[in-house]
Amino acid sequence: MPSKIDWPKAIQPLLKKYKTTKHPLEYKSIYQLLVMVVLSAQDSDRNINTIAPKLFEAFPDMNALSRATEETLFPFISKVRNFATKAKWLIEIAKTIKEDKKIPLTHESLTSLKGIGSKSANVILREAGKPAEGVIVDLHVVRVAPRLGIATGTDPKKIEKQIKEILPQKDWDAGMAMSFHGREICRPTPKCEICLMTPVCHYYNTVIKKLTVK
């Protein structure tokens, strides 16, 4: 493996593979995406996808959600982790925004809302087709990025900063690409034998290859 990786070039196969892949949350509008992103914090996309249909049947848009109370929301989200806190966040967001068409689509305005951090804002912007203003770093990226060698450590903010410094802004969707890669290939037990990143992967070239040789 080359001692110095040209990451803007090396990351292209991953970006190409996942550039049209939709986020695993099964949303049908930006309103639904925003609500599901808030609910998915420290929970699984699968769980949120399961509870979403009945939730959105009861609260089909931001206006309906703005009239909700915690008590009317609880029956629909009680299986979500930290649902009581998230109910407060969602109601506050809905009362602030009031209408679907007024959902803000900049990183700064999204992160000013309760329950929406940098990662969540980056996901919403990506799915809305807006230019990336940051790099999505979820638990999969925290595993994949250091393995590849494009970043070090386990702090999502520091990993995002490193990736933003290494890649041009047009390639910041690499975060989501690494997330998909982590879900499918670079799992806790990685499937290195079918990985397209092995030529540049630090983990593969310093650990797996040596084990194979032995």
Structure confidence by residue, pLDDT tens digits, 79-125 = 999 999 999 999 999 999 999 999 999 999 999 999 999 999 999 99
Torsion over CA of 120, 18, 164 and 134, rounded to 10 degrees?
-20
Q: What is the pLDDT of residues 25-84, one digit of tens each?
A: 999 999 999 999 999 999 999 999 999 999 999 999 999 999 999 999 999 999 999 999
Please state the domain count of the chain.
Answer: 2
Residue 70 lies in a domain: yes
| CATH code of 65's domain | 1.10.340.30
Model pLDDT, residue 211: 78
Question: Do 62 and 122 share a domain, yes or no?
Answer: yes
Distance of alpha carbon 75 from alpha carbon 96, whole angstroms = 23
Question: Do 122 and 49 share a domain, yes or no?
Answer: yes
Largest CA distance in the chain: 65
The alpha carbon dihedral of 48, 18, 2, 159 has a sign of negative
Residue 61 lies in a domain: yes
| Whether pLDDT at 149 is above 50 | yes
Question: Do 94 and 148 share a domain, yes or no?
Answer: no
Question: Do 99 and 38 share a domain, yes or no?
Answer: yes
Question: Do 109 and 41 share a domain, yes or no?
Answer: yes
Which of 68, 96, 127 is the C-terminal boundary of a domain?
A: 127
Model pLDDT, residue 208: 86
Give the domain extent around 170: 7-20+135-213
Distance of alpha carbon 11 from alpha carbon 38, whole angstroms = 29
Q: What one-letter code names the amino acid at 201? A: C
